[in-house]
C-alpha cells in the first residue's frame, strides 16, 4: 500500500491545555501556532508516524500577566526552549480510536506520553481537498518536564496542579 502524507490544517485545528488552579477551578490555555505531519499507509492510521512542533511564544491563556509568567524560566523558559515537540513511537487502533504513544519534549526534557485520538472520519471539502479529523486527549505530569514552579496554600494543597490535560481538535489535509 502507498504511503500517504498528511499535513495539519491550522485554520481548522486547535490545541488546548487545562490545569487546576487553587485546586478549585480549571484554567484553560492554548497554543496558537503549531505544526504537525502524519504519514500513513493509505487512509489507515494504525502504525502512522506523527510529528508535532508547537511554538511556546504562541501560548495564550487569555491573561497577559499569566502568559508572561508561563513563558518565563519559572515554567516553559521560552527564551531557551522555544518549542514543544512530539514524535510518535506507536499508533494502535482501539475500536474507533487510536492510542498514540510517543516522545514528548518540553523544556529540553523528553518523556513518554500517551494520547487518545478519536477518529472523526475522512471528508472532501468543496475545493477537492481530502481531510481527516481527530479529537485528541491525554494527560501529563508537568513536573516530569521540569515545570515545577508552585506555591503552597495556607488552606493546604498547592496553587497549580501537577496534572495537565491536553485536548485538541486536529484536521489534516492529504497531500497529493
What local confidence, expressed as pLDDT, does residue 14 receive?
A: 97
Whole-model pTM: value is 0.89
DSSP per residue, 69-111: HHHSTTTT-TTT--EEEEEEEEEEEETTEEEEEEEEEETTEEE
Q: What's domain 3-174's architecture?
A: Beta Barrel (2.40)
What local confidence, expressed as pLDDT, does residue 96 receive?
A: 86
168 near 9, Cβ under 8 Å?
no
> CA 167, 173, 176: angle at the middle one, nearest 5?
155
Per-block mean pLDDT, blocks of 10 residues, the chain (176 long): 92 92 80 96 93 97 91 91 97 94 96 97 95 96 77 56 89 93
What local confidence, expressed as pLDDT, does residue 1 receive?
A: 66
Can you give the residue ranges of every domain in the chain?
3-174
Amino acid at each position: 500500500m502507498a504511503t500517504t502524507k498528511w499535513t495539519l490544517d491550522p485554520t481548522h485545528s486547535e490545541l488546548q491545555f487545562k490545569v487546576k488552579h487553587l485546586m478549585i477551578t480549571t484554567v484553560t490555555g492554548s497554543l496558537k501556532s503549531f505544526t504537525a505531519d502524519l504519514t500513513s499507509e493509505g487512509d489507515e492510521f494504525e502504525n502512522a508516524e506523527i510529528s508535532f512542533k508547537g511554538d511556546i511564544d504562541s501560548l495564550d491563556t487569555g491573561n497577559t500577566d499569566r502568559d508572561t509568567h508561563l513563558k518565563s524560566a519559572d515554567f516553559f523558559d521560552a527564551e531557551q526552549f522555544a518549542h514543544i515537540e512530539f514524535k510518535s513511537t506507536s499508533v494502535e487502533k482501539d475500536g474507533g480510536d487510536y492510542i498514540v504513544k510517543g516522545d514528548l519534549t518540553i523544556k529540553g526534557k523528553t518523556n513518554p506520553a500517551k494520547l487518545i485520538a478519536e477518529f472523526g472520519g475522512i471528508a472532501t471539502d468543496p475545493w477537492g481537498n481530502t481531510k481527516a479529523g481527530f479529537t485528541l486527549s491525554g494527560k501529563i505530569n508537568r513536573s516530569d518536564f521540569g515545570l515545577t514552579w508552585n506555591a503552597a496554600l495556607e488552606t493546604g494543597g498547592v496553587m497549580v496542579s501537577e496534572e495537565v490535560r491536553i485536548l485538541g481538535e486536529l484536521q489534516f489535509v492529504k497531500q497529493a
